[in-house]
Structure 1
Amino acid sequence: MMQGCENVLARTLPRRAPRVAYRNGEVAAALAEHGTLAVLGFGSGVSASEDPRWLRVALESFDAPAPLELWQVDAEVSHGRDGAVRWAAGGGWLFAAVELDEAAHGGPGGAATHAYQALRQLVEGRAERHVLRIWNYLEAINRGEGDAERYKLFCEGRATGMGAFFAEGFPAATAIGHHGPAGRLQVYLLACDQPGERIENPRQVSAWCYPRQYGRTPPSFARAMLLPAQDALAISGTAAVVGHASAHEDDLHAQLEETFTNLEALLARGRLAPGFDTQSPLKAYVRHPADAAQVREFITRRLPGVPVLLLHGDICRSELLVEIDGWRYA
Structure 2
Amino acid sequence: MVQGCEKAVAQAVDCRAPRVSYRTMEATAALAEPGMLAVIGFGAGQADRDDPRWLTLALEPFDAPAPLECWEVEGEVVAGRDGAIRWSRGGGWLFASISLEETEHGGVESTAERAYRALAAFLAQQPEHHVLRVWNYLTAINHGAGDAERYKQFCNGRARGMGDAFGEGFPAATAIGHLDRRPLLQVYLLAGVQPGLRVENPRQVSAWRYPRQYGPTPPSFARAMRLPGGDALAISGTAAVVGHASAHHDDLLAQLEETLANLEALLASAGMPAGFDTHSPLKAYVRHPADARVVRDFFRQRLPGVPALLLHGDICRSELLVEIDGWRYA
1:165 aligned to 2:162? no
Moved over 3 A (4+): 7-12
Letter in 2 for 1:224: A
Structure 1 counterpart of 2:224: 224
Aligned to 2:307: 307
Compared CA separation, residues 44 and 271, structure 1 to 2 (3 A) = same
- Give CA deviations for 1:140-197 in whole Å, capped at 9, x if unaligned: 0000000000000000000000001112210000000000142100000000001100
8 Å CA contact 2:201, 2:223 repeated in 1: yes
Q: Where do residues 62-81 of structure 1 align in structure 2 (5 Å cutoff)? A: 62-81=62-81
Q: Secondary structure at the match of 1:279?
A: coil
Checking the alignment, whether the CA contact within 8 Å between 2:136 and 2:176 is kept in structure 1 is yes
* SS of alignment partner, residue 230 of structure 2: coil
- Equivalent residues of 1:250, 1:321 under 8 A apart: yes
Please name the residue that 2:89 is paired with. Answer: 89
**Alpha-carbon offset, residue 47 of structure 1:** 3.1
1:27 and 1:49 in contact (8 A); partners too: no
In structure 1, what is the Cα distance between the partners aligned to 2:84 and 2:13?
33
Q: 2:272 aligns to what?
A: 272
CA distance in 2, matches of 1:151, 1:9: 36
Paired position in structure 1 for 2:4:
none
Task: Give the whole-Å Cα distance in 1 for the aligned partners of 2:33 and 2:12.
Answer: 27
**Superposition map of 1:103-182 within 5 A:** 103-182=103-182
Letter in 1 for 2:214: Y
- Pairs within 5 Å for 1:173-322: 173-322=173-322
Please state how far the C-alpha of 1:103 moved relative to its aligned partner.
1.1
Instruction: Give the 3-state SS of the residue equivalent to 2:60 in structure 1.
Output: coil
Structure 2: distance between partners of 1:185 and 1:9:
31
Conserved 8 A contact 2:142-2:149: yes
In structure 2, the partner of 1:323 is 323
Residues paired across the two proteins, number? 324
1:14 Cα deviation (Å)? 4.9
Q: Which secondary structure state, in structure 1, belongs to the residue aligned with residue 71 of structure 2?
A: strand
Q: Residue 13 of structure 1 aligns to a residue in which SS? A: helix
Unaligned runs of 5+ in 2: 1-6
Alpha-carbon RMSD? 1.3
CA distance in 2, matches of 1:43, 1:58: 5
Worse overlay, 197-206 or 7-16: 7-16
Give, in angstroms, the shift of residue 13 of structure 1. Answer: 2.5
Deviation at 1:279, TM superposition (A): 0.7
Contact 1:58–1:181 (Cα < 8 Å) also in 2:
no
**Pair 226,155 (structure 1): closer, same or farther in 2 beyond 3 Å:** same
Query: Is contact 1:39–1:55 with CA below 8 Å preserved after alignment?
Result: yes
Q: 1:188 is paired with a residue of what secondary structure?
A: strand
**Normalised by the size of structure 1, how large is the TM-score?**
0.96
Rounded to whole Å, the distance in 1 between the matches of 2:178 and 2:8 is 45
Deviates more, 1:180-189 or 1:190-199: 180-189
Change (3 A) 1:196 1:286: same
Q: 1:300: Cα distance to partner?
A: 1.0
CA apart distance, 1:15: 3.8
Q: CA offset at residue 8 of structure 1? A: 12
The separation in 1 between residues aligned to 2:187 and 2:324, in whole angstroms, is 18
Match of 1:25 in 2: 25
Aligned-partner residue type, residue 217 of structure 2: T
Unaligned runs of 5+ in 1: 1-6
Superposed CA deviations along residues 271-316 of structure 1, whole A, max 9, x for unmatched, are 1111101011000000000100001001111111110000000000
Aligned to 1:131, what secondary structure does the other structure show?
strand
**Secondary structure of residue in 2 paired with 1:256:** helix
With normalisation by structure 2, the TM-score equals 0.96
Letter in 2 for 1:193: V
1:49 aligns with 2:21: no
Structure 1 residues 188-216: Cα deviation after superposition (integer angstroms, max 9, x where no partner): 00000011000000000000000000000
**Amino acid in the other structure paired with 2:324:** I
1:285 touches 1:323 (CA, 8 Å); kept in 2? Answer: yes
Rounded to whole Å, the distance in 1 between the matches of 2:9 and 2:143 is 51
Q: Secondary structure in 2 aligned to 1:260?
A: helix
SS at match of 2:61: coil
The equivalent of 1:4 in structure 2 is none
